[in-house]
Amino acid sequence: MKTRRFRFLPIALALASAPAHAADFTGDVTDVRTIRHMDQHPGSSELWEPYIAQWKGKQLVAAFGVKIPGKTDMGDIVASVSTDDGDHWEYPVMIFDHRERQGTIQFAYANAILYKPPGQDVLWAYAMRCPMNYRHSEDSQLAGAYSADGGRSWIPVELAMGYTGPLIVVAGPYRVEENGAVRYLLPAHRNTRRNDPLGSRDHFVLASTSLMEWNLAGYVPQPATGPKVFLHEGNIDAGDAPGEIKMVMRTADYENESKMTDPPRAFSTVSRDGGNTWSAAQQEPELWNAKSKAFYGRATNGTHLYVYNDGPASPAPTGRTVLRYKLQPARGEWGAEKTFYDAGIHNSYPTLIEVAPGDFRAVWDSGTKDRTRTHIVFGKFRLPAAP
């Protein structure tokens, strides 16, 4: 019988960390804190792609990746808890550990996602898992775990997958209710074309009634006119019309994923049947996208929010630096570009949750002027008062 050894942390490390304030910045985000720095993870090459969820009251949970050197985007997924609305963050615990083998197979993980179903005292974590011998995570499977104590311990589960192909996920489930039945939609895409000239770059949506069994719901058609687009990393939320679901997606050139679209714009698609069918993707003329994940969501008052990187795409020296945002009032037009966070350093992959009407909590990965993804950052954001 195999005995599992547990490593106990010093008391000082297990206590909540002192608040680490980020460097001077401009922008409308407030109460900025550093959740974790890569120097606190010896042997890691980056901290990247965080996600945030609200457990109860002021207790927040942030999950993020700890990258393995030599891999493009693979490592461990950990979670840190705050009980004071983000002012202090506890020592992180492991959700998905690349050192844990499943039989003879060793996986690494990417792209943390957190989701708390309304009315349930359980928090779900999702990520991509990929065999360690792969160089990157473009050909991953969906992995899941749950926590019943607000993010301080996690139990991995083997998901039942009706969709069995490779996938990439970065955004959490979206809950829909139809005729009294609840269903969850999970946006995903695949990029098998990176290593296979006969592969594809398609965006699709998975669906589940249990958050454990996932089946293919539908694909996003390419634009009706113009060249094909590499549609990926979409966020789903309510659309502009009653009963409409909208997804806004990151974009790149379909044939050469290192190039931006011309012009560099986000694309969107809508569904009016609960996520089973989607309209042909179309350009969002007011929404910039330079090959980087952006956040799209709708506030309680109906305002849509889009948070994104301006400027050029990486690996340009100024790629993925400033975070900007735009607002679209209910049944209105997108407003002017505003600054979310600008500290003269690299920042990317923002994710936000609304904890009270118009009151958001945000996380993103940050770096230095010359280096990306050295630390995970938290901040607060409030919608401006209506004029």
Tens-digit pLDDT profile for residues 189-221: 999 998 888 999 999 999 999 999 999 999 999
- pLDDT at residue 10, as a whole number: 36
- pLDDT at residue 9, as a whole number: 37
What parts of the chain have a pLDDT lower than 50? 1-18
Q: Is residue 371 part of a domain?
A: yes
Q: Is residue 174 part of a domain?
A: yes
Range of 70's domain? 24-382
Q: Is residue 128 part of a domain?
A: yes
- pLDDT at residue 331, as a whole number: 86
Q: Is residue 286 part of a domain?
A: yes
- pLDDT at residue 103, as a whole number: 87
- pLDDT at residue 136, as a whole number: 84
For the chain, the three-class secondary structure string (H helix, E strand, C coil) is CCCCCCCCCCHHHHCCCCCCECCCCECCCEEEEEEEEHHHCCCCCCEEEEEEEECCCCCEEEEEEEECCCCCCCEEEEEEEECCCCCCCCCCEEEECCCCEECCEEEEEEEEEEECCCCCCCEEEEEEEEECCCCCCCCEEEEEEEECCCCCCCEEECCEECCCCCEECCCCCEEEEECCEEEEEEEEEEEHHHCCCCCCEEEEEEEECCCCEEEEEEECCCCCCCCCEEEEEEEEEECCCCCCEEEEEEEEECCCCCCCCCCCEEEEEEECCCCCCCCCCEEEEEEECCCCCCEEEECCCCCEEEEEECCCCCCCCCCCCCEEEEEECCCCCCCCCEEEEECCCCEEEEEEEEEECCEEEEEEEECCCCCCCCEEEEEEEECCCCC
Q: Is residue 15 part of a domain?
A: no
- pLDDT at residue 15, as a whole number: 41
Nearest to 19 by CA among 91, 92, 82, 88: 88
Q: Is residue 10 part of a domain?
A: no
Q: CATH number of the domain that 77 lies in?
A: 2.120.10.10
Q: Is residue 186 part of a domain?
A: yes
User: What Å distances lie between residue 36 and 16, 59, 65, 214, 377, CA to CA?
Assistant: 12, 17, 11, 32, 8
Tens-digit pLDDT profile for residues 37-76: 999 999 999 999 999 999 999 999 999 999 999 898 999 9
Domain count, the chain: 1
Q: Is residue 323 part of a domain?
A: yes
- CB count within 10 Å of CB 354 equals 18
